[in-house]
């Protein structure tokens, strides 16, 4: 059993994204017109995510040099832990609140992110389903 506050737990949550997203038919349907590359960074550890037609088709634990991405979402470990609680408290409940109050950054070409905002908010929140809290 992985402790919920460990680095291994954070990594396991990110690595569960393909299963969580691809297993959610409504979420895949919402992203059906989207194909994009983006990066999630947890405390300096990059994860490259490839989406095709709303499905996560590839997730790489370390970004390769010169591997392109359209946008990146970067935050520290504690911020991600609090964001991925079953019921996160403000300002950890929303990705934009994190950028204003918890030191998160969203950078790069924000057009695909903003054009598919509800999809990405649900993708990023999907690991909350793994939380042990009520």
Bigger pLDDT: 119 vs 131: 119
Cβ(69)–Cβ(109) under 8 Å? no
**Other C-beta atoms within 10 Å of 44: how many?**
8
pLDDT over 80 at 3, yes or no: no
Residue-range domain boundaries for the chain = 7-129
102 pLDDT higher than 90: no
CATH class of segment(s) 7-129: alpha beta
Q: Rounded to whole angstroms, how far apart are CA atoms 123 and 127?
A: 8
Close Cβ partners of 115 (under 8 Å, ≥ 6 residues apart): none
For residue range 21-38, list pLDDT tens digits in order. 999 999 999 999 999 999
Residue 5 has pLDDT above 60, yes or no: yes
- Distant-in-sequence, close-in-space partners of 130: CB < 8 Å, separation ≥ 6: 12, 13, 16, 20, 84
Q: What is the pLDDT of residues 43-78, one digit of tens each?
A: 989 999 999 999 999 999 976 777 889 999 999 999
């Amino acid at each position: 059993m992985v402790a919920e506050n460990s680095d291994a737990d954070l990594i396991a949550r990110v690595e569960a994204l393909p299963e969580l997203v691809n297993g959610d038919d409504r979420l895949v349907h919402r992203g059906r017109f989207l194909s994009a590359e983006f990066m999630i960074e947890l405390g300096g550890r990059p994860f490259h995510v490839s989406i095709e037609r709303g499905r996560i088709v590839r997730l790489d634990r370390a970004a390769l040099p010169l591997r392109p991405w359209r946008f990146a979402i970067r935050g520290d470990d504690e911020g991600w832990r609090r964001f991925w609680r079953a019921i996160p408290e403000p300002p950890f409940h929303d990705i934009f609140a994190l950028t204003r109050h918890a030191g998160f950054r969203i950078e790069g070409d924000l057009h695909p992110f903003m054009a598919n905002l509800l999809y990405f908010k649900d993708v990023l929140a999907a690991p909350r389903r793994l939380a042990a809290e009520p």
